[in-house]
C-alpha cells in the first residue's frame, strides 16, 4: 500500500491522532472501502459524483457544503 495525505479540519486530525491504533485502523479500512469502491472501478469524476450522491442521501446538501467551505 501507499500513503496519501488528505487535508482535514484540525479537530478531526486531533481526534484521529488521539485515537488508539485499533480505531485508526478501522477508519483506514472505511476510507479504503470508500475509495476502492468509487475510485478504482470508475474514473475520478464518476467517483466524486457518487460520493456527492451518497452525501446528499445522508443529508449533506450543496447549501450545507457551501456553508462549510465558506467557514474555512
61 in any annotated domain: yes
pLDDT tens, residue order, the chain (72 aa) = 788 888 888 898 898 899 999 888 888 887 777 776 655 565 777 777 788 788 878 887 778 877 877 875
In a domain, 9, yes or no: no
Residues 70 and 68: their CA atoms lie apart, in Å, by 5
Range of the domain at 44: 21-70
How many structural domains comprise the chain?
1
pLDDT at 56: 79
| Angle (nearest 5°) at CA 52 between 45 and 59 | 180
Examine residue 2 and state whether it is found in any structural domain, yes or no. no
C-alpha–C-alpha distance, residues 13 and 24, integer Å: 11
Residue 53 lies in a domain: yes
pLDDT at 17: 93
At 38 the pLDDT is 57
Residue 7 lies in a domain: no
* CA distances in angstroms from 63 to 48, 53, 56, 57, 71, listed in the order given: 17, 14, 11, 14, 12
Residue 60 falls within a domain, yes or no? yes
C-alpha 30/C-alpha 36 separation (Å) is 10
Amino acid at each position: 500500500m501507499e500513503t496519501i495525505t488528505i487535508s482535514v479540519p484540525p479537530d478531526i486530525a486531533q481526534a484521529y491522532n488521539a485515537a488508539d491504533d485499533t480505531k485508526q485502523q478501522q477508519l483506514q479500512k472505511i476510507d479504503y472501502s470508500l475509495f476502492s469502491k468509487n475510485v478504482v472501478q470508475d474514473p475520478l469524476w464518476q467517483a466524486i459524483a457518487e460520493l456527492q450522491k451518497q452525501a446528499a442521501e445522508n443529508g449533506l446538501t450543496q447549501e450545507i457544503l457551501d456553508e462549510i467551505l465558506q467557514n474555512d
